[in-house]
C-alpha cells in the first residue's frame, strides 16, 4: 500500500484565492510526522509546514495551514491568498520512526496560479 497518496496531479487557482491540496497517508505507527514541501522548477525541495501525530492543533505557517484529520488519515495543505510565485510542485511526506526512520513522499500535485 502507498504510504502517501496525492490524488490531484494538477490544480489551478486564481491569484489571491485559497486552494486546498489533498493528502492521505497510511501508517500503523502511533507516532509520525507529516510534512509538506514545495518544489519549484529549479528543483530544490523547500520545507513548508510540519504536523506531528500527537499535535492537537492544526499547524500554520504564514499563508500555509495544514488541515489534519487524524481519524481520516488526511493532511491537506491549504494555501491562502495564492500568489504567482506559488506555482510549483507540492509534495506531502511522512516520517515514521520505525522501521528505518524513513521519509516517504507522495507523487506530488502541480499547482498553477492564474493571474
Report the 3 state secondary structure along the chain: CCCEECCCCEEEEECCCCEEECCEECCCCCCEEEEEEEECCCCCCEEEEEEECCCCCCCEECCEEEEEECCCCEEEEEECCCCHHHCEEEEEEEEECCCCCCEEECCCEEEEEEC
CB 40 → other proteins: shortest distance, Å? 10
Residues belonging to the chain: 115
Asked whether position 27 contacts other proteins by CB under 8 A, the answer is: no
Q: How many amino acids of this chain bind other proteins (CB under 8 A)? A: 29
| Beta carbon nearer to other proteins, 6 or 82 | 6
List the interface residues with other proteins, window 40-69 (CB under 8 A): 42-47, 50, 52-53
* Candidate residues 21, 23, 91, 111; the one interacting with other proteins per rule CB under 8 A: 91
| Beta carbon nearer to other proteins, 100 or 115 | 100
CB 69 → other proteins: shortest distance, Å? 18
Amino acid at each position: 500500500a502507498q504510504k502517501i497518496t496525492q490524488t490531484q496531479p494538477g490544480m489551478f487557482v486564481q491569484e489571491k484565492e485559497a486552494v486546498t491540496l489533498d493528502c492521505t497517508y497510511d501508517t500503523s505507527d502511533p507516532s509520525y510526522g507529516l510534512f509538506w514541501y514545495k518544489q519549484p522548477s529549479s528543483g530544490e525541495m523547500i520545507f513548508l509546514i510540519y504536523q506531528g501525530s500527537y499535535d492537537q492543533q492544526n499547524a500554520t505557517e504564514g499563508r500555509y495551514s495544514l488541515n489534519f484529520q487524524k481519524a481520516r488519515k488526511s493532511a491537506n495543505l491549504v494555501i491562502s491568498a495564492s500568489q504567482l510565485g506559488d506555482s510549483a510542485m507540492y509534495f506531502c511526506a511522512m516520517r515514521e520512526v520505525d522501521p528505518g526512520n524513513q521519509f516517504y513522499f507522495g507523487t506530488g500535485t502541480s499547482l498553477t496560479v492564474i493571474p
